[in-house]
Amino acid sequence: MSLLNAVVQGIALGGLYALFATGLSLAFGVMRFVNLAHGDLAVLAAYLILSVATALGASPWVALPIVLVVGGAVGYGAQTAVLNRTLGADPMPSILVTFGLGVVIQNALLEKYSVSQQRLDIGGLVTDSVSVGSLAVGTLPLIILATAVVLLGVLELVLRHTRFGRAFRATAEDSRTAQLMGIDDRAIYGAAMAISFGTVALAGFFVGSRTSFSPLVGPALLLFGFEAVVIGGIGSLWGTLLGGVVLGVSQTVANELAIGWDLLAGHAVFLAVLLLRPNGLLGKGAA
């Protein structure tokens, strides 16, 4: 029964990984942009939510929408003003720029907030649980999972069925030909980064409410995010959810079987998928 519990916890944890990885997946899918600062952006968002909540004397729930909107706007601005210049056949400029950005964010956070652990206080939700049969499942993990599923579902619908979504997919497949249809690829990239920054801020909120965080935890998050994207298959949003869940379940089940083996097991599963299905579980070209 505790194994079943571990699986359920793992699925919920997978929702968090998926939420975090969505932005990575989108940015890479549409413009082959590798964002090494993605984890640090999540941590930055958590700190911003903390500061805004403190300044307003309100709950982090109130600060969340503010930081989401600001994050989206900053994402659009950063992409159109700076990051578009790093795009090209060579992925190295984007990797170097975002690596540097990550270092800058980490050090700025250290300077402002010190190394001490922080936490977003969202009240009793953190300890609440729902009984499912004989299992007690945490309310917050369930909310996170539901948020991830709804968010990915909405994104998928938008990409499938709207004018913007078609322009997005056309640009992802062949930006030069998309231009011929009158699509401004740079604006599409800006929108992709707005969604990426917005979703990573949401992920940062949940990371910060679920566990404590400090300025240097970003890179570890980034690793999980990349693993979720690769396990699920690059270019597939549902794949990213599946990848997050596979990673989460691997970690919690391994920890149940042998305490402390969770991270190693997660990496092992990631490597196994890379060996056996290099295109990921739902990726294009998967057998």
Q: Which residues bind another protein (CB under 8 A)?
A: 163, 166-167, 169-170, 173-174, 176-185, 284
Minimal distance in Å, beta carbon 93 to another protein?
Answer: 18
Nearer to another protein, 176 or 287 (CB): 176
CB of 28 to another protein, least distance (A): 16
Q: How far apart are CA 25 and CA 239, in angstroms?
A: 10
Q: How far is the CB of 285 from another protein (least distance, A)?
A: 11
Residue (133 or 182) nearer to another protein, CB:
182
Please, which residue, 156 or 184, has the CB nearer to another protein? 184
CB nearer to another protein: pick between 183 and 191: 183
Residue closer to another protein, measured from CB, 111 or 176: 176
Q: Residues 124-136, buried b or exposed e (16+ Cβ, 10 A)?
A: eebeeeeeeeeee
| Other CB atoms within 10 Å distance of the CB of residue 156 | 15
CA distance 125 to 104: 33
| Least CB distance to another protein at residue 68 (A) | 28
Q: Residue 162's CB: how many other CB atoms inside 10 A?
A: 11
Instruction: Kindly tell me which of 188 and 249 has the beta carbon lying closer to another protein.
Output: 188
Spatial separation of the C-alpha atoms in residues 102 and 96, rounded to whole Å? 10
Q: Minimal distance in Å, beta carbon 284 to another protein? A: 8
> Closest approach of Cβ 25 to another protein, in Å?
16
**Residue 181, CB-side half-sphere exposure with 13 Å CA sphere:** 15
Closest CB 148 distance from another protein, rounded Å: 24
**Residue closer to another protein, measured from CB, 164 or 271:** 164
As measured in angstroms, the least distance from the Cβ of 269 to another protein is 28
Q: In terms of CB distance, is 171 or 209 closer to another protein? A: 171
